[in-house]
Amino acid sequence: MGVTIVAGGFWGDEGKGKVVAYLATQDNPSHVVRAGVGPNAGHTIHFQGRKWVLRQVPSGFVNAQSRLLIGAGVLLDPRVVQQEVSELGLSDRLGIDGQCTVIEEEHIQQDRSSEHLAKKVGTTGTGCGPANEARVRRQARLARDLPELKPYLADVPLELHRALKAVHDVLIEGTQGFGLSLYHGSYPFVTSKDTTASAFCMDVGIGPTRVNQVIVVFKAYVSRVGEGPLSMPLSPEEVRARGWEEFGAVTGRPRRIGEFDLELARRAVMINGATQVAVTCLDKRFPECYGATRREQLSPVAEGFLAKIEGELELPVTFISTGPELAQMIDRR
Ligand code: GTP
Ligand code: IMP
Ligand code: MG
């Protein structure tokens, strides 16, 4: 396995949290590292009968053997971090890079009171854009400046380097999705950073030559929160009739829903350098597939859908998620 990156292929909320948690339990990586923008992302994990929504701590917490790290490129809201650490009882398993940018209350206020950010872009209101602005101005405080974070501070690139030298496996957890990339996405309706595999390498301090696998995750349809274009949108009535309604994990806003976008998927695969693809929520599109764990349990029409994706993207669909629980997965690596 070596280094594996999990990235979103559409507009975020593709189910990266579940895919990362699944891989963490199956492959036993020594380290699971969170990359991406920051607490604007919510990763949902259904595990042992409980639902978790994590905004800062890596979804790899489900494996008690894995060390959990947050890379320097990730924005840190110390309030959210403390809450997740105490909820999960992590204390000695979490390492935070001292160079992470701190989100201040003031950044959250700016994000929520700006007409442009809150209304036009439709941000999550978590202060991420203003905090990244402060970092670029070189006026932001960093994790190393906060006494309450001292117990967690870690040299993330060095820890990863040592793990790889010892031939351990490292899992990098991306956030958001390809279409939200500041550079490659639907500007200005995007987040405040790139959201592709290259950015995730930079976030955690790993060079591109060290990466072995890039898994790009797609939902079996498209969902989007916030403003900006959505190709092939479905009407609210159509969405309800199909049972595809969704609400944001962080903001609770309804997600807009559209048909599977092959053109966007092709571009996501190209720019991420994907080596394989995961498809989630197959059960929402094909309810007869709910909970399947073997390929033979899929219906011919679901098989046809996956075959079309594989043909068009010229990549294998190695993970097929058939329900929110970790075990509801077909693993065909
Ligand atoms: P971001 O980093 O915020 O983009 O999040 P994410 O990619 O981790 O996804 P998020 O958890 O926000 O949204 C995915 C939703 O789909 C969650 O509610 C998951 O529990 C759910 N989910 C994931 N996989 C499946 C699946 O195969 N079937 C069903 N029914 N739900 C799923
Ligand atoms: P911001 O990242 O909060 O500045 O929001 C910018 C845009 O990205 C808005 O459209 C948000 O809805 C969207 N966005 C940011 N993070 C996520 C995410 O994790 N999932 C889905 N959409 C996101
Ligand atoms: Mg989410």
Q: Which domains does the chain have, with CATH numbers?
A: 3-99+153-331 (3.40.440.10)
CA nearest neighbour of 122 among 269, 15, 12: 12
Per-residue pLDDT of 68-95, as tens digits, reads 999 999 999 999 999 999 999 987 899 9
- Type of residue numbered 76: L
pLDDT value at position 36? 98
Any atom of ligand 1 within 6 Å of the Cβ of 226: no
Q: Indicate which residue's Cα is closest to atom 2 of ligand 2.
A: 191
Quick one: 91 exposed, middle or buried, by C-beta within 10 A (0-12, 13-18, 19+)?
Answer: exposed
Q: Which residues of 97-117 are buried (b: 16+ CB within 10 A; e: fewer)?
A: bbbbbbbbeebbebbeebeeb
> Euclidean distance between the first and final Cα of the chain, in Å?
11
Residue 253 has what DSSP assignment?
P
Any atom of ligand 2 within 6 Å of the Cβ of 191: yes
Contact assessment for residue 286 and residue 301, using Cβ atoms and an 8 Å cutoff? yes
Residue in 11, 16, 40, 117 to alter for ligand 2 test, most ligand atoms within 8 A of Cβ: 40
Any atom of ligand 1 within 6 Å of the Cβ of 71: no
Other beta carbons within 10 Å of 147: 6
pLDDT value at position 48? 86
Does residue 292 sit in helix, strand or coil? coil
pLDDT value at position 92? 87
Q: Would you call 31 a catalytic residue per the annotation?
A: no
CA distance 142 to 152: 13
CA distance 212 to 205: 15
Closest ligand relative to 247 C-alpha = 1
pLDDT value at position 252? 86
As given in the structure block, the two tokens for residue 158 are: 């060095």
Q: Would you call 168 a catalytic residue per the annotation?
A: no
Q: Backbone phi, then psi, for 49, in 5-degree steps?
A: 75, 5
Any atom of ligand 1 within 6 Å of the Cβ of 44: yes
pTM score of the predicted model: 0.98
How far does the centroid of ligand 2 lie from the alpha carbon of residue 224, in Å? 9
Low-confidence stretches of the chain (pLDDT beneath 70): none
How far does the centroid of ligand 3 lie from the alpha carbon of residue 9, in Å? 13
